[in-house]
Chain A
Amino acid sequence: MRLAALLARLVLAGLFALAAWAKLGDAQSFAFSVKAFEVLPDHLAVLATFVIPWLEALCAALLLLGLWARPAALLLSGQLLVFIAGIGSVLWRGMSVTCGCFGKLDPFCSGPLGWCNIAQNAVLLTLSLLVLAAGPGYLAADRRPRR
């Protein structure tokens, strides 16, 4: 289980670091994506444009180090649940919205938001819940010996 937790931690850290880098590298495009969901007023959409990638970056760093890994996994789990709900809302309303999940990159799903994006986030949520339940696993600062 500790090995699985380590692997989950590293996969999540890598993917969310990539996602944060891509979003912060083109904040205007990500702002368009946030606006397209039509769930936030403009001022909150602008704030979310920057808070979401910085939250992903911080959580990625914590997961990579294995420091406060479970709080980071809790936050990412919450964020992924919000994303899944948001995508479900978009599909239910029949809207055509570009993801913006990884900026201009489309590593897993291409085109407008769809069931592929929900599946992608469900897989990430599973990994995140694994870290939340099992802890950081091997090679984690959280498990360093205490003197």
Chain B
Amino acid sequence: MAPTSLLTRALAVFGVAVLIGAAHSARTPVALRLQPTEAQTPATTPDAPETPPRGPGLMISVGEAFELFQQGTPFLDARPKADFDAGRVMGAFHNPPSTGLKPDVIQFLDPSRPIVIYCGGGDCKDSENLAILLQQMGFNRLHVMTDGFPAWQSAGHPVEGGGGP
């Protein structure tokens, strides 16, 4: 096969893949970024100065997460299983996004109630990715504890598992 023919055919196959992929992409929504829901958007716009705060936002600190913990809010641990087994927020469910949403976890969650999600802090994206999966299932009161489990543990909040008491 002549080199030009080889390249032409390779480009033709690539072009077909791009066309099919683009068409598939247009028909199948995937999300890469977490979108704040109305319930999580801070009501501090000039148009509504008198509106009371609606509660914690989408991204929350360890302190805000602890307040929700004290109110009985369920926590989801999005880290790998080895990290979860080594220590976790007391009572947290385990559901890394790479496994999809686990039915045995989802059955304990109420879409209308707050849920706190965390991973390992730093540049960890698992908590955001898990929140995206939950948003797609209709959960709209999600809160991501951005500093993750290390900050929770450092703050002396309740933990269990290998790293706990």
Q: Which residues of A contact B (CB under 8 A)?
A: 24, 26-29, 31-32, 35-36, 42, 45-47, 49-55, 58-59, 62, 68, 70-72, 74-75, 95-96, 98, 104, 111
Contacts and interface: CB of A to CB of B under 8 A. Distances in A.
B13 A72 contact: yes
A111 B82 CA distance: 11
Given A50-B24, A74-B7, A98-B98, 6 more contacts: A36-B125, A52-B21, A54-B24, A58-B20, A68-B9, A75-B13
B60 interface: no
A95 B143 CA distance: 24
Contacts of A95: 123
Contacts of A104: 98-100
6 contacts: A24-B24, A32-B98, A36-B125, A47-B21, A59-B13, A95-B123
B17 A70 contact: no
* Contact size range, B: 20 to 34
A71 B6 contact: yes
Contacts of B99: 104
Q: What 3 pairs across the A-B complex have the smallest Cβ distances?
A: A51-B21, A50-B21, A55-B17
A28 B31 contact: yes
Interface string B59-76: 000000000000000000
A47 B25 CA distance: 6
B125 A49 contact: no
A95 B125 CA distance: 11
A129 B97 CA distance: 35
Interface in B75-107: 80, 97-100
Most A CB contacts (10 A, CB to CB) among B6, B18, B21, B133 go to: B21
A46 B16 contact: no
A50 to B, nearest CB: 4
Nearest to A45: B32
